[in-house]
Amino acid sequence: KIMSKKIIAGNWKQNGTLKSSISLAKKVLQAVKKAKYTHEIIIIPPSIFLLPIRDLIHKSQIKLGAQNVSAFSDGAYTGEISGSMLKDSGVDYCLVGHSERRHIINEDESVFSSKVSRLIDSDIRVIYCFGETLNDYKNKKTKLIIKSQLKKLFLNNKNNLKKHPSKLILAYEPVWAIGTGLVPSPEELVSIFKYIRDTVNKLDKKYSPIKILYGGSVTPDNASSLMDTKHLDGLLIGGASLVAKKFIDICSTI
Ligand code: PGA
């Protein structure tokens, strides 16, 4: 049996300066060169810092991710950055559907599905984030919400995803766990990850290679126990990815 690669992705969000971002990327690069991890390491800086960081990590094992993409192909869309521009700048992955885009920027599923299409057209892998809010969680609606989010994603992008299932990575991020220090219990995670896997497989057998990440308050202390969850293929890390030592510790511990 071929072991499939685990994924560790660091989402830097809207943080840092050019100088601090380059220094963070350099530290991660040094650690990765030394340790020769077998997993896929992805760093996701603010878009304006992608190019200098690409120049640093290019030829290394580290992959480059973008936090956002335009819903449109090239043209008169002031302020936007297209999938083909990201590709041209060496971007391998892009986030779509992150909780902050849903709840603060107010993007919806139709925007997300345009973005997924643009990215797949540009040959960039999509890290699609989804998950329930605290209210949904308290009202025991977690599975209902997950199912509806996944169904919309797969229905809206059916043709693309059936042709290119490996271009999609799912990231389950309970909104109440993002930046709060709270994480679901191991029992909750086992049950949710089984549910996500079953839901995805039921939609189409072709979707079985799709990887599923967990995100929300991942730290060096909880990373390895989170990784023990069945059907969980990696971690999406926010806050802890801004501190080189923490991110490297997570990469080393799993
Ligand atoms: P966090 O963020 O690790 O700071 O909780 C996770 C995310 O938003 O992807």
DSSP string covering 201-230: HHH-GGGTT-EEEEESS--TTTHHHHHTST
Residue 247 has pLDDT above 90, yes or no: yes
Give the pLDDT band (50/70/90) at residue 254: confident
Residue-level pLDDT at 52: 98
Mean pLDDT of 206-217: 96
Q: What is the mean pLDDT of residues 222-238?
A: 97
Q: What is the pLDDT of residues 146-184, one digit of tens each?
A: 999 999 999 999 999 999 999 999 999 999 999 999 999
Q: How many Cα neighbours within 13 Å face the side chain of 101?
A: 21
Active-site annotation holder among 40, 100, 107, 173: 173
Q: C-alpha angle with apex 211: 206 to 212, nearest 5 degrees?
A: 125
Name the residue at shortest CA distance from atom 3 of ligand 1: 238
**pLDDT at residue 4, as a whole number:** 82
Residue 199, burial from CB neighbour count under 10 angstroms (0-12, 13-18, 19+):
middle
pLDDT (tens digit, 9 = 90+) per residue, 157-166?
999 999 999 9
Residue of 98, 100, 107, 132 marked active site: 98
| 98 is annotated as an active-site residue | yes
Contact status, residue 134 vs residue 176, Cβ threshold 8 Å:
yes
What is the pLDDT, as a whole number, of residue 1?
A: 42
**In this predicted structure, what is the pLDDT of residue 2?**
53
Mean pLDDT, range 213-222, rounded to an integer: 98
Alpha carbon separation from 251 to 50, 141, 246 (Å, rounded): 21, 32, 9
Mean predicted lDDT score pLDDT of the chain: 96
Pocket test residue of 173, 182, 221 for ligand 1, highest count of atoms within 8 A of CB: 173
User: Rounded mean pLDDT of 19-44?
Assistant: 96
> What confidence score (pLDDT) does residue 116 get?
98
Looking from the CA of residue 11, the nearest atom of ligand 1 is 9
Question: Taken in order 200, 146, 215, 181, is the CA torsion positive or negative?
Answer: negative
Structure tokens at 124: 């960039």
Pocket flag, ligand 1, residue 241 (CB < 6 Å): no
Which of 237, 247, 250 for a ligand 1 pocket mutation test, highest count of atoms within 8 Å of Cβ? 237
- How many CB atoms are located within 10 Å of the residue 38 CB? 9
Q: Widest CA span of the chain, in angstroms?
A: 49
Could you give the dihedral angle defined by the CA atoms of residues 11, 161, 184 and 242, in that order, rounded to the nearest 10 degrees?
-10
Q: Whose CA is nearest to atom 1 of ligand 1?
A: 238
183 CB less than 6 Å from ligand 1? no
197 pLDDT higher than 90: yes
pLDDT in tens, 79-134: 999 999 999 999 999 999 999 999 999 999 999 999 999 999 999 999 999 999 99
Residue 3's pLDDT is 63
Whole-model pTM over 0.75: yes
The finding on whether 97 has its CB within 6 A of some atom of ligand 1 is no
Residue 78 has pLDDT above 50, yes or no: yes
To test ligand 1's pocket by mutation, which of 95, 175, 178, 226 has the most ligand atoms within 8 angstroms of CB?
178
Structure confidence at residue 210 as a pLDDT band (50, 70, 90): very high
